[in-house]
């Protein structure tokens, strides 16, 4: 029984060069994009440098709270009690790992390993992650539905040609048909875990409360940064723009939404009436607080958790 746990850190060490290569590729691509749009970014950085410090502190506090909410949602997806302190630390480390692999795979891998270490079998660990992800998507949709009536006309979609829509529908239909058996099995497993979780009211409250708070706090970070740079949009419109952009960014599975979320959020804010420099300042401030500043501490926490065999 000691062999799998003993070899896990070694396996992670062996994968380090590959992960470092992915991280380097992400940084290079981000650097190329930044170089191409450096005039706008320079203006945005200057505007952010003179931002209101009080609102930036509010944004930082909201960012810190997102990890606790993520831990709450993960506990809500599992009937078995999980160690609270380690669970929060794992969410912080998972946030950093999420920027090394596409489409949330880094965060999923860290949480999967943690749940497995806590005694959950492999199938149950996988479905717990799926339950949390599903609740997160539903929570974001509920927040959009709640904010949309208060912001009529805020969600204006850019023009997309009928050919692009047809290609998208065809690709999705092909994927559904090809993976129909796998999807059915996965849905049955997820629904079984959803029923088990909702049989315990405390777990259901943690799942949905944590998921709603997680999405709402990320929107609050964007709102606070927007207020700090003087973005001339109502807070509800800014929050709605973020929620819609984060949903659209899922379609392009970049690590941590780098590039896809940034472009979608900047576009959504611009379509809502913000200037290009103000929108860029908001996106830059959001990224600094939620991605770049916590990245190194998060990777250090990940290393500590691996060495202590929490992962």
Per-residue pLDDT at 290: 92
Which secondary-structure segment (H or E) carries 190? Answer: helix 180-198
pTM exceeds 0.85 for this model: no
Cβ neighbours of residue 309 under 8 Å, at least 6 residues apart? Answer: 5, 8, 9, 117
141 within domain boundaries: yes
Q: How far apart are CA 118 and CA 89, in angstroms?
A: 14
Q: Among candidates 92, 98, 96, 97, which has minimal Cα distance to 70?
A: 92
2 within domain boundaries: no
287 within domain boundaries: yes
Strand, coil or helix: what is 255? strand
Q: Among candidates 218, 225, 224, which has minimal Cα distance to 244?
A: 218
Cβ neighbours of residue 124 under 8 Å, at least 6 residues apart? Answer: 115, 193
Total structural domains in the chain? 1
Q: Among candidates 211, 240, 247, which has minimal Cα distance to 223?
A: 240
Per-residue pLDDT at 180: 60
Q: Among candidates 200, 173, 192, 221, which has minimal Cα distance to 76?
A: 200
Q: Which domain holds residue 97?
A: 53-158+181-307
Which residues pair with residue 239 across a beta bridge? none
Q: How far apart are CA 61 and CA 215, in angstroms?
A: 15
20 within domain boundaries: no
142 within domain boundaries: yes
- pLDDT tens digits, the chain, 311 residues: what are they? 444 444 443 444 444 444 445 445 555 665 666 666 566 566 667 777 788 999 999 999 999 999 999 999 999 999 889 999 999 999 999 988 887 766 567 888 899 999 999 999 888 888 899 899 989 999 999 999 999 888 776 665 555 556 755 766 676 667 656 656 555 666 666 677 778 888 889 999 999 999 999 999 999 999 999 999 989 899 999 999 999 999 887 776 666 667 778 888 988 898 888 888 888 899 989 999 998 889 889 989 998 999 998 88
96 within domain boundaries: yes
214 within domain boundaries: yes
234 within domain boundaries: yes
DSSP assignment string, 79-130: SS---HHHHHHHHHHHHHHTTTSBTTHHHHHHHHHHHHHTT--HHHHHHHHH
Q: Among candidates 228, 225, 282, 294, which has minimal Cα distance to 256?
A: 294
């Amino acid at each position: 029984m000691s062999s799998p746990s003993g070899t896990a850190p070694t396996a992670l060490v062996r994968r380090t060069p590959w992960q470092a290569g992915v991280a380097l590729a992400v940084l290079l691509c981000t650097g190329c994009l930044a170089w191409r749009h450096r005039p706008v970014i320079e203006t945005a950085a200057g505007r952010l440098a003179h931002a209101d410090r009080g609102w930036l502190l509010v944004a930082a506090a909201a960012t810190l709270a997102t990890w606790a909410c993520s831990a709450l949602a993960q506990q809500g997806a599992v009937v078995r009690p999980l160690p609270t302190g380690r669970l929060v630390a794992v969410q912080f480390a998972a946030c950093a790992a999420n920027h090394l692999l596409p489409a949330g795979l880094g965060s999923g891998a860290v949480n999967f390993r943690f749940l497995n270490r806590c005694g959950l079998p492999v199938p149950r660990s996988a479905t717990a992650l799926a339950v949390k992800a599903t609740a997160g998507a539903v929570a974001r949709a509920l927040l959009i539905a709640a904010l949309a009536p208060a912001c009529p006309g805020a969600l204006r979609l850019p023009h997309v040609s009928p050919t692009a829509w047809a290609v998208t529908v065809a690709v999705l239909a092909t994927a559904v048909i090809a993976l129909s058996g796998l999807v059915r099995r996965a849905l049955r497993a997820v629904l079984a875990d959803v029923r088990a979780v909702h049989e315990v009211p405390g777990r259901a409250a943690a799942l949905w409360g944590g998921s709603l708070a997680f999405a709402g706090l990320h929107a609050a970070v964007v709102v606070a940064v927007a207020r700090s740079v003087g973005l001339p949009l109502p807070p509800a419109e800014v929050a709605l723009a973020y929620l819609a952009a984060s949903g659209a960014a899922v379609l392009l599975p970049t690590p941590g939404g780098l590039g896809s979320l940034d472009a979608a959020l900047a576009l959504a804010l611009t379509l809502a009436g913000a200037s290009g420099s103000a929108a860029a300042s908001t996106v830059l401030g959001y990224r600094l607080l939620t991605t770049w500043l916590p990245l190194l501490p998060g990777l250090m926490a990940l290393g500590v958790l691996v060495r202590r065999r929490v992962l």
